[in-house]
Amino acid sequence: MALIEQADVWLFQLLNLHLVHPAADDLMVFLTRVRLSGHIIVLAALFIVVRRGKSAFLVLLLALFAVGMADIVASGILKPLVQRIRPCFALDHVRLLVSQPRSYSFASSHAANSAAVATVIWIFFHRGIFVEKIFTIIMMLYALAISWSRVYVGVHYPGDVIAGMVIGVCSAMLLYLLYSWVLKNIMQPRIMRREGTA
């Protein structure tokens, strides 16, 4: 475990201190602050509505539930359980680009939430027409960029964001599997019975 933590610190210092450029600082702050880049999610939601029409409600609802589940696991369960101190408070010579409250570090809720949204979008759009495939790729890259930004600005270790992304992906997949089971075993049989009696 100590070796893993040392590797995590080494990788954090590489990404936070060495693989940086002043021209990228503003972009990373933009990505990491929801109030600055949140309109990207709004545009994504509008795209989903345009492409899916009435069924967009299902996609957006699953995305919201996936974000809720991922956030509860990352922030509500793991952070108080693990109580890992953020690198900006635990290490010396950290490039801290944003103000950060003294909340715990593991796991990254930003990474969990963005990965949950990207996974739901992948589930529903990766087999679509060209524009939907491009949309899927863009949203996956956006989620990766948000996760990277958390290390770049100095508030999370790489292990935090990797764990967060795993939580987000698993939350979205679990909810989709649950929805599929309910659709197959409860909703569709009821519809078939109603059509049969009609």
The CATH number of the domain holding residue 85 is 1.10.606.20
Q: What is the pLDDT along the chain (198 residues), one digit of tens a residue?
A: 688 899 999 999 999 999 999 999 999 999 998 877 778 989 999 999 999 998 999 999 999 999 999 999 999 999 999 999 999 999 999 999 998 778 899 999 999 999 999 999 999 999 999 999 999 999 999 999 999 999 999 999 999 999 999 999 999 999 999 999 988 887 777 777 776 665
Q: Is residue 8 part of a domain?
A: no
pLDDT of residue 188: 74
**∠ CA 68-33-30, rounded to 5°:** 135
pLDDT of residue 131: 95
pLDDT of residue 38: 78
Q: Is there a domain that residue 10 lies in? A: no
Alpha-carbon distances, residue 141 vs 45, 134, 183 (angstroms)? 16, 11, 30
175 within a domain of the structure (yes/no): yes
| pTM as predicted | 0.91
* Number of domain units in the chain: 1
Residue 7 in any domain: the answer is no
Q: In sequence order, what are the residues at sequence separation of 6 or more whose Cβ sits closer than 8 angstroms to the Cβ of residue 130?
A: none
Q: Does any domain span residue 112?
A: yes
Task: Judge whether 172 and 66 are in contact, CB under 8 Å.
Answer: yes
The pLDDT assigned to 197 comes to: 65
* Domain that residue 114 falls in: 23-197
pLDDT for 50 equals 94
Give the dihedral of Cα atoms 61, 64, 67, 71; nearest 10 deg: -130
In a domain, 58, yes or no: yes
Q: What is the pLDDT of residue 198?
A: 56
Predicted local distance difference test score (pLDDT) of residue 104: 93
Confirm whether 30 is domain-assigned: yes
* Structure tokens that stand for 181 in this block: 């089971």
Tell me whether residue 3 is in a domain: no
pLDDT at 116: 97
pLDDT of residue 99: 86
